[in-house]
Amino acid sequence: MLDSFTATAGDHDITITTITNDVCRVVLTDLGARILELHAPDRDGVLADVVLGRKSYDELPRDPYYFGVTAGRYANRIREGRFEIDGTKHAVTPNEGANHVHGGPRGFDTHVWSTALDPERDSVTFLRRSPDGEEGYPGNLDAHVTYTLDGAALEIRIEAETDRPTLVNLVNHAYFNLAGHDSGTVLEQVLQVDASTYTPVDAELLPTGEILSVAGTPFDFRTETPIGKNIAAVDNAGYDHNWVLDGDGMRQVATLTDPASGRRLTLVTDQPGIQVYAGGYLEGASAKGDLDTYAAFAGVTAEMQTFPDSINHAHFPQRVLRPGETYVNVVRYEFSVV
């Protein structure tokens, strides 16, 4: 079942759409093609909102935490905002020191998208054209993000086409706390990632270019491990790193489990990497509902992606999109209980 209403967010007129079925409920908005709420049952069937969000709609257009957004045109970081395609140099807008992150200061998260509802499929599609030169990116890019609620699973299918060779890495940036968004930290929640290697970063959280084994490091989540177990050994306020996912094609790549509530989130994707950010810099961020602000580590992201700064590392998976091709990024958030 779909239900929509209109609201305002700063100077924007926005639409809020809720998809509900017998198991779960998700609340979406066309501002940033983002998730506002995602309600899933615990082992007793009690629903809780398991994604973080802002106190008011007015905070959404310039949310520095990117709660629930579709981040792009290129999510994650590009060193000094510079890259080259087919011998042509490009410079995109820096917005994290000298570097470019999540599409720049006017990334996809700051725009109101068009909305198409499909009540028969319990799905919503958001669409926008990013014009040639937006934030420095070449080519017009037509992007489509479809959210489909399928029983206890939320599927997000992202597609894009271009009329010039360009760089694309569109991802969802939801923060999860399976005990409920207002329940405290995720440090006791248990993470498992099918990744034998990861890409280490420098002090600016940009990849060094190395691909290293997780064995014997705080990045080894091949077996279920509490997020907080080894986080003190990680620089820069904990995890904000890319793991190199094993396998290829559409496959299960990770699980997140809250032992207290029994909620489990299984992550299924077709992407080569996953950015796990444990929310180390969330302290003081305004929180939705009855909570005033979030604490550090109040939520964890699982951004299905190509690798950060991939274009500047020839041995990383590349995301240059060319005319006639279609960029595709699919992720399924599958909920169950243990």
Give the active site residues.
Answer: 173, 303
The side-by-side arrangement of strands in the sheet containing 12-20 is 2-9, 12-20, 25-29, 34-41, 47-49
- The tokens describing 275, both together, are 């950015």
Matching residue, tokens 């909620």: 263
Under a CB-based contact definition with an 8 Å cutoff, are residues 188 and 226 in contact?
yes
* Pair type for strands 100-101 and 273-277: unpaired
SS3 assignment for 272-283: CEEEEECCCCCC
Under a CB-based contact definition with an 8 Å cutoff, are residues 300 and 278 in contact?
yes
SS3 assignment for 303-332: EEECCCCHHHCCCCCCCEECCCCCEEEEEE
Helix (H, G, I), strand (E, B) or coil at 163: coil
- The tokens describing 16, both together, are 């809020």
Under a CB-based contact definition with an 8 Å cutoff, are residues 179 and 261 in contact?
yes
The side-by-side arrangement of strands in the sheet containing 300-305 is 175-176, 300-305, 273-277, 240-244, 197-199, 212-213
Distance in angstroms (rounded) separating the CA atoms of residues 92 and 78: 9
Distance in angstroms (rounded) separating the CA atoms of residues 225 and 298: 17
φ/ψ of residue 239, rounded to 5: -70, 130
